[in-house]
Amino acid sequence: MATPSPTTPHDCDSGLDWLGLSARQGYQFGLLPLVIWLEARNQPYEAMVAVGWVVRNRVESPKWWGWDFPSVILEHYSGTYQFSSFDEDDPNSEKFPKGHEPAWAECLRAAAAVFTRSVQDPTGAATHYHDHTIRPPGWTKGMTKTAEIGAFSFYK
Q: What is the pLDDT of residues 78-107, one digit of tens each?
A: 777 778 777 788 777 778 888 788 999 999
Residue 20 lies in a domain: yes
Residue 33 lies in a domain: yes
Residue 138 lies in a domain: no
Residue 152 lies in a domain: no
Higher local confidence (pLDDT), 154 or 28: 154
Lowest-confidence region among 3-17, 49-63, 118-132: 3-17
pLDDT for the residue 16: 53
Cα separation of 85 and 94, whole Å? Answer: 9
Residue 3 lies in a domain: no
Whole-model pTM? 0.82
Is the separation of the CB atoms in 146 and 129 below 8 Å? no
Cα separation of 87 and 136, whole Å? Answer: 19
Q: How far apart are the first and last CA of the chain?
A: 29
Task: Count other Cβ atoms within 10 Å, centred on residue 61.
Answer: 13
What average pLDDT score do residues 43-59 get?
97
Cα separation of 72 and 74, whole Å? Answer: 6
Share above pLDDT 70 across residues of the chain, in percent, rounded to a whole number: 88
What average pLDDT score do residues 24-42 get?
89
Residue 46 lies in a domain: yes
Residue 38 lies in a domain: yes
- Taking 70 as the threshold, does the pLDDT of residue 110 lie above it? yes
Domain that holds residue 13: 9-122
Identify residue 25 by its one-letter amino acid code: Q
Residue 154 lies in a domain: no
pLDDT for the residue 18: 62
pLDDT for the residue 1: 45
How many domains, the chain? 1
Phi and psi torsions of 52, nearest 5°? -60, -40
| Confidence grade of residue 13 (pLDDT, cut at 50, 70, 90) | very low
